[in-house]
Structure 1
């Protein structure tokens, strides 16, 4: 069987009260890498965050997005990964040299992890915890242990070609086999990074859980997609205020804005700038002003 690319696979352990997801990012991961020249030590946590965030969207009960952010005072200053209910992802990281492989503390310094649930309808929910653990998977596990009280485990693997994630989560309520959670996580702990990166889904599940009754659902396609738009960029400029926008226009004759997620450029001339301030101010996506 050939490996399936750019898909999210759900599965459940019958009668154990445990659900799982497998996320494979191939062309999606390459699309992220093409936007910025990330060094290898930055690629790993960024790929892990993208795969982990995509896994978490499988647990959402609403239409919208989930955003994982890490901010710190180390060589990697910030990292953002976003995934939606439609299985689209995007992400970026900011860093300064020198940056090397290491633990989260070594790469991010004193940092914090922020998980934001952003439904299309309803209010945002945001949880903030200290950044803890040896990797992104451990940090997400710590978040769930402290904030959600929901046993969750992740195994993540990244190379230059793909980012892969495996997640197990215990479902609420009593279960027929109370040892199911401990048993399945012990089995998953035997997985190797090369197996995550190389084995097809069915082969991987058979290798890890061949004695368990696993039901695998149809895969859902995943793609890189940026939600930036001229309207959202205009909202960002409105948030700056007319004074700063007018100053840029006076100096440069126009305002250029680059979306940091996809590198798409947006240009506003003096006529465009005058039309910006007829609507309400709405915060928008991460972007870089060129002036």
Structure 2
């Protein structure tokens, strides 16, 4: 017989870089929560992103981690934005069971101009475009992709629209990122990034209770808004909405304490945490296979002094190949 999930206090606290699944039986809600520390800091520090870009990418990483750790199979979940703003590309992917990598592309001049003009909100930096979630189960399985317009002021708002349209499960997402200034063990000043998030979903035994009002039909048309929200989900959603960004990132609060603050009256249960790690999937073997697929003309164009040098955009690892290594193949 399966053992019941422990209540808060029966498990050691998960700490940073561990996703905590939870269940609030009294509200028919399941979800996951996380605080990211050293793993996130390593990814952002590697590229030395400007503050607005780092904050955007941090939230994208949190969202990817929360969703990726829910995969029940061996595979990968990829979050990607493509837009016309100063930050025209965000990519974060999670490979089971725990590997995370991420990258942001931005126009430095356009970013500087936007910040100077006071237009540094997420929707202003991203501009118009799309957010795509891709689930990849391997070469022998068809990919699934869900796409939603970047129609919202924050990534959590955009994610909410995605869940509404694609999964049709009542879902509430909260994301936050913060810079932490403190001192290391030697007393020297240091700067670190932290981020956190919660995703809560309404999953009652009776599926008809999950119904939601239809989205507006456009041109001001309202469709189906007479449908009432389930009382338990309304309570859960309202509780999640009370989470302050500081609570999501404060190392003194922690994931379990935050969940207890939210749901203690309803009896929240937490499950064993799942670790996530800063680990890229690139390798010399994979890159060599890609280069070996180039034509002789392409290889000649890419080579300098008889060598091809390439750097992974995610982890910044540089690989050096002699032309003969790839041309022979």
Give the TM-score taking structure 2 as reference length.
Answer: 0.78
For residues 90-109 of structure 1, what are the alpha-carbon distances to aligned partners after superposition, in whole Å with 9 as ceiling and x for unaligned?
10101112423633431111
Q: Which residue of 1 aligns with 2:23?
A: 12
Provide structure 1 residue ranges, at least 5 long, that are not aligned to the other structure. 277-291
Q: Which residue of 2 aligns with 1:216?
A: 270
Q: Give the secondary-structure state (helix, strand or coil) at the position aligned to 1:52.
A: helix
The reply to whether residue 264 of structure 1 matches residue 313 of structure 2 is: no
Match of 1:193 among 232, 238, 245: 245
For residues 135-172 of structure 1, what are the alpha-carbon distances to aligned partners after superposition, in whole Å with 9 as ceiling and x for unaligned?
11111111111122122211111113211111101226
Instruction: Tell me how far apart the structure 2 counterparts of residues 179 and 88 of structure 1 sit (CA, whole Å).
Output: 38
Q: Which residue of 2 aligns with 1:133?
A: 152
Instruction: Tell me how far apart the structure 2 counterparts of residues 57 and 254 of structure 1 sit (CA, whole Å).
Output: 38
The reply to whether residue 26 of structure 1 matches residue 80 of structure 2 is: no
Report the alpha carbon displacement of residue 231 of structure 1 after superposing the two structures with TM. Answer: 2.1
Report the alpha carbon displacement of residue 77 of structure 1 after superposing the two structures with TM. Answer: 1.4
CA contact 1:62–1:119 (8 Å) conserved in 2: yes
Change over 3 Å in CA distance of 1:180–1:72 after alignment to 2: same
Report the alpha carbon displacement of residue 15 of structure 1 after superposing the two structures with TM. Answer: 4.6
Change over 3 Å in CA distance of 1:15–1:63 after alignment to 2: farther
The reply to whether residue 206 of structure 1 matches residue 217 of structure 2 is: no
Instruction: Tell me how far apart the structure 2 counterparts of residues 159 and 195 of structure 1 sit (CA, whole Å).
Output: 11
Q: Give the secondary-structure state (helix, strand or coil) at the position aligned to 1:134.
A: coil
Provide structure 2 residue ranges, at least 5 long, that are not aligned to the other structure. 1-11, 180-192, 210-229
Q: Give the secondary-structure state (helix, strand or coil) at the position aligned to 2:328.
A: helix
Between Structure 1 and Structure 2, whose CA radius of gyration is higher? 2
Match of 2:163 among 136, 144, 149: 144
Q: Which residue of 1 aligns with 2:326?
A: 273
Instruction: Tell me how far apart the structure 1 counterparts of residues 72 and 198 of structure 2 sit (CA, whole Å).
Output: 20
Q: Which residue of 2 aligns with 1:279?
A: none
Match of 2:196 among 164, 181, 184: 164
Match of 1:113 among 107, 131, 139: 131
CA contact 2:17–2:34 (8 Å) conserved in 1: yes
Q: Give the secondary-structure state (helix, strand or coil) at the position aligned to 2:88.
A: strand
Change over 3 Å in CA distance of 1:242–1:141 after alignment to 2: farther
Match of 2:206 among 160, 174, 191: 174
For residues 165-222 of structure 1, what are the alpha-carbon distances to aligned partners after superposition, in whole Å with 9 as ceiling and x for unaligned?
11101226417x9522211110111111111111122321121112112111111111
Instruction: Tell me how far apart the structure 2 counterparts of residues 3 and 148 of structure 1 sit (CA, whole Å).
Output: 29
Instruction: Tell me how far apart the structure 1 counterparts of residues 151 and 293 of structure 2 sit (CA, whole Å).
Output: 34
Instruction: Tell me how far apart the structure 1 counterparts of residues 295 and 245 of structure 2 sit (CA, whole Å).
Output: 49
Q: Give the secondary-structure state (helix, strand or coil) at the position aligned to 2:314.
A: coil
Q: CA RMSD, aligned part only?
A: 2.1
CA contact 1:71–1:113 (8 Å) conserved in 2: yes
For residues 213-261 of structure 1, what are the alpha-carbon distances to aligned partners after superposition, in whole Å with 9 as ceiling and x for unaligned?
2111111111110000112212332454332112333x43110110010
Match of 1:155 among 166, 174, 178: 174
Q: Give the secondary-structure state (helix, strand or coil) at the position aligned to 2:146.
A: strand
Instruction: Tell me how far apart the structure 2 counterparts of residues 172 and 116 of structure 1 sit (CA, whole Å).
Output: 26
Between Structure 1 and Structure 2, how many residues are aligned? 275
Match of 1:226 among 248, 263, 280: 280
Q: Which residue of 2 aligns with 1:284?
A: none
Q: Give the secondary-structure state (helix, strand or coil) at the position aligned to 2:27.
A: coil
Q: Which residue of 2 aligns with 1:66?
A: 77
Instruction: Tell me how far apart the structure 2 counterparts of residues 103 and 170 of structure 1 sit (CA, whole Å).
Output: 30
